[in-house]
Amino acid sequence: MSNNLMVDTGISRDTKGFDDSKRQVSPVSFRRKLRRLLWHIVARQLMLFSVIALAIAGWIGRRRRPITDEGCEIILTGRFDSNNWILAHLGPLSASKGCSRIWMVSTNKVPSLPKVEAIYPPKWLIKTMGVTGARLLTFIFAAIRKRPDIIGGFHIMANGIAAVIIGRLLGARSMYFCVGGPVEIINGGIHSTDSYFKKMETADPVVENRLIKIIKASDMVITMGTKAVDFFREKGVQSVLEVISGGIDSARFKPSKEVPIYDLIMTGRLVEIKRIDVFLKAVKHAVNKIPNIKVAIVGSGELRDELQKLSMNLGIENNVDFVGYQDDIESWLQKSRIFVLTSDSEGLSLSMMEAMMCGLPAIVSDVGDLGNLVEDGINGFLVPRRYPEKFSARFIELLSDENKLKTSSEAARNSTQKYSMHAATEKWNNIIGNFRLSRI
């Protein structure tokens, strides 16, 4: 396996599931140590600047405006990798009777939704400042021009930080969508694939504390599961905390009568934190019992070439299809039997919710908020992370027992109804209603 998948993250303290005594630690060169040090300095200074900017915004910011009965206007920004992801989050919010308009600042094409207007940075600005810089600058100027009631960002770095500061400056309510769960914050965000600070590689409590300080200033934190709520409460965050994992279109994601082609399917980005190497090793174990097991890996990412090489080295290249990014993800789920997720960290996975709504039992790492939906032995299995042989045993258990697979499939579908588009819309109705009545 390439060093890219076995890198030492330098965890030096207990971080609720991120400490790993079995970690293979490779020697660290002087150049790498120096690079780490520079990133620690940059991260601390950037967070100090953000905390100072937040304080200044509080001093000179406008007075908080009430939300009228006509509904609130919302501006959001974030990076998203698929239409499904943005539909799951924006769909229920735009359908809420308390929302009158949403502006979504993005560099990706925003799907057409009622009440949603996309704002794209100009191409010249992207060439000048890069994708993220152009999007954030466009977000700031659009917020100043539109004067919305709520300003929100997906992921803390840097969208959530920007939303909190701009919200305080403009007298709007701020909303941070903690999509990745506590991993976005723990040790300064070094474990998150969506954080610039992962380049620090080793824990930085100063960066973590400054991130928490900014989150404490937000009016609301939207999390994907209950463990994230517990984490923020333990850190002293008194903001309104709500669990909204997104809304899934149950008319689109549903079981099919089609005969499955694949025994196992994994959907998502091919990045380190997903630990698809663990999945492939589990498949290798399973092949010894089920030689013709068929696997689909749906998604694109930086590790695709390495993972394909790994499948060849394991001798399972004929069992595994890397099919790349697919828009019609539901059709791939509908021709599969079991959903698998071997991540080191997750919130409440949208991909898992989509799969289970299609009637696929889920065999997943026992991390993050996945246990909010997966009931071990009922609609799937929770497996200790990084244990390929234990994942493999669960694959074999379900695939070898047709009755158990059918029962688990029915339970998976039934358990996801509380995550439907309608259910998520009702949550937003209540949240925005409470925002309108509150004085915060």
pLDDT digits (tens, 9 = 90+) for 243-278: 998 899 989 999 998 899 999 999 999 998 899 999
First vs last Cα of the chain: how many Å apart? 52
Does any domain span residue 290? yes
> Domain count of the chain?
2
- 262 bridge partner residues: 336
Alpha-carbon distance of 403 to 64, in angstroms, equals: 58
Length of the chain: 440
Judge whether 274 and 343 are in contact, CB under 8 Å.
Answer: yes
Per-residue pLDDT, averaged over 220-226, amounts to 92
Question: What's the 3-state SS for 259-293?
Answer: CCCEEEEEECCCCHHHCHHHHHHHHHHHHCCCCCC
> 166 with 97, same domain?
yes
Judge whether 235 and 229 are in contact, CB under 8 Å.
Answer: no
HSE toward the beta carbon, residue 346, CA cutoff 13 A = 28
> 230 with 362, same domain?
no
Q: How confident is the model at residue 25 (pLDDT cuts 50, 70, 90)?
A: low
Does any domain span residue 16? no
- Interacting residues of 219 by C-beta distance below 8 A, sequence separation 6+: 167, 173, 174, 175, 239, 240, 435, 440
What residue spans of 61-117 are helical by DSSP H? 83-95
> 172 with 314, same domain?
no
Smallest CA-to-CA distance from 269 within 338, 319, 336, 343 is with 343
Q: Summarize pLDDT for 155-185 with one digit per residue, the tens.
A: 998 899 999 999 999 999 999 999 888 989 9
pLDDT value, residue 27: 79
pLDDT value, residue 278: 97
pLDDT value, residue 287: 97
Does any domain span residue 83? yes
> 430 with 406, same domain?
no
Q: How confident is the model at residue 433 (pLDDT cuts 50, 70, 90)?
A: confident
Alpha-carbon distance of 203 to 197, in angstroms, equals: 10
pLDDT value, residue 80: 82
**At which residue do the structure tokens 């990133």 appear?**
39
Flag whether pLDDT at 10 surpasses 90.
no
> 176 with 42, same domain?
yes
Alpha-carbon distance of 314 to 330, in angstroms, equals: 29
Q: Summarize pLDDT for 311-352 with one digit per residue, the tens.
A: 999 999 999 999 999 989 999 999 999 999 999 988 889 999
Does any domain span residue 11? no
Q: Summarize pLDDT for 110-143 with one digit per residue, the tens.
A: 989 999 999 999 999 999 999 999 999 999 999 9
pLDDT value, residue 75: 97
Smallest CA-to-CA distance from 284 within 396, 152, 204 is with 396
> 284 with 239, same domain?
no
Q: Summarize pLDDT for 361-385 with one digit per residue, the tens.
A: 999 999 988 999 999 999 999 999 9
> 170 with 207, same domain?
yes
> 80 with 229, same domain?
yes
pLDDT value, residue 131: 93
Distances (CA, A) of 165 to 143, 193, 342, 431: 11, 23, 36, 21
> 173 with 270, same domain?
no
pLDDT value, residue 2: 37
> Which has the higher per-residue pLDDT, 13 or 355?
355
DSSP 372: G
> 196 with 274, same domain?
no
Flag whether pLDDT at 152 surpasses 80.
yes
Flag whether pLDDT at 6 surpasses 60.
no
pLDDT value, residue 76: 97
Does any domain span residue 328? yes
Q: Summarize pLDDT for 399-427 with one digit per residue, the tens.
A: 999 999 999 999 999 999 889 999 999 99
pLDDT value, residue 334: 96
Flag whether pLDDT at 41 surpasses 50.
yes
pLDDT value, residue 438: 65
Does any domain span residue 56? yes
Q: List the domain range (segments joined by +) for residue 352.
A: 262-419
pLDDT value, residue 123: 95
Flag whether pLDDT at 45 surpasses 70.
yes
CA 403 to chain centre: 33
> 283 with 400, same domain?
yes
What the block records as the tokens of 198 is 């992962």
Instruction: Supply the CATH number for residue 162's domain.
Output: 3.40.50.2000
Does any domain span residue 22? no
Does any domain span residue 149? yes
pLDDT value, residue 7: 32
3-state class of 338 per DSSP? strand
- Interacting residues of 312 by C-beta distance below 8 A, sequence separation 6+: none
- 175 bridge partner residues: 152, 220
Judge whether 180 and 347 are in contact, CB under 8 Å.
Answer: yes
Cis peptide before 158 (omega within 30 of 0): yes
Mean pLDDT of the chain: 90
> 284 with 211, same domain?
no
Q: Summarize pLDDT for 64-117 with one digit per residue, the tens.
A: 877 777 789 999 999 887 788 888 999 999 999 999 999 999 999 998 999 999
What the block records as the tokens of 283 is 């498949």
Judge whether 297 and 351 are in contact, CB under 8 Å.
Answer: no
